[in-house]
Amino acid sequence: RLTDPRLCQVYALEEKTSSPDYTGGLELGLLKSMTFEKFDYKRVNLPPEQRENLEQAFRVALDFAQSPDGWLVLMGVTGCGKTHLAAAIANYRLQAGKPALFVVVPEFLDHLRSAFSPESKASYDQLFESAKNAPLLIMDDFGEQSATSWAQEKLYQVINYRYNARLPTVITTSCSLDEIESRISSRLTDIKISNPFNIMAPDYRTDLRSSQKRVPRGGKKGRWG
């Protein structure tokens, strides 16, 4: 299924259905590699509190993947692991033969705008309805879109529809909840349906930089020299 050419670069997993590319340039191979098995929550450079928090995020995401119910909102800085966990949920559902749709929010909005063009091969209604009604929708990089009134309204319509319909939804964001429009953030924080989880870990690239700076015994530089 992961190599099904109909899926191209997007997780549009319903059988006999093709879907537009909402992945914002994320290659299918990269998304395919973002599994729970490959998620490193034992980052050795993290202090214990952050490492425990990252493991908890892993457990929360895995539980959601096993039984999607309600909403999961993953918050944290760029590189903390939000997108990996969100894609891992999609991969898990995919391997189970269940439908999901993974979208990068800024790219999704760009596709909606371009659908108004006479040259567009996809209709606006088709694109919009696919996000509103997906059995499982994963919205990556929420809050990174342009803050136009049109963009805010489209996102609110998707969020509000899925909120009222109680459709399983995963959202990742680098924004704090008070930076998100109140009528949207109120739904993201409704404990009756949503589980907001703040990942405390810093950008994983800081781990790589720390590894590169290590000098082994004997004073010689390691292989990252």
Query: Quick one: tokens of 125?
Result: 């209604």
Q: Which CATH class is domain 5-213?
A: alpha beta
- Residue 189 one-letter amino acid: T
Query: Quick one: tokens of 197?
Result: 């989880």
User: Which of 12-26, 43-57, 182-196, 205-219 shows the lowest per-residue confidence on average (mean pLDDT)?
Assistant: 12-26
Nearest to 124 by CA among 133, 113, 132: 113
Q: Contact at 8 Å (CB) between 130 and 12?
A: yes
Q: Comparing 208 with 224, which gets the higher pLDDT?
A: 208
pTM of the entire predicted model: 0.82
Q: Comparing 102 with 15, which gets the higher pLDDT?
A: 102
What are the domain boundaries of the chain?
5-213
CA distance 165 to 134: 11
Model pLDDT for residues 172-223, shown as the tens digit of each residue: 999 998 899 999 999 999 999 999 999 999 999 876 555 445 444 444 433 2
Q: Contact at 8 Å (CB) between 20 and 10?
A: yes
3-state DSSP of 170-182? EEEECCCHHHCCH
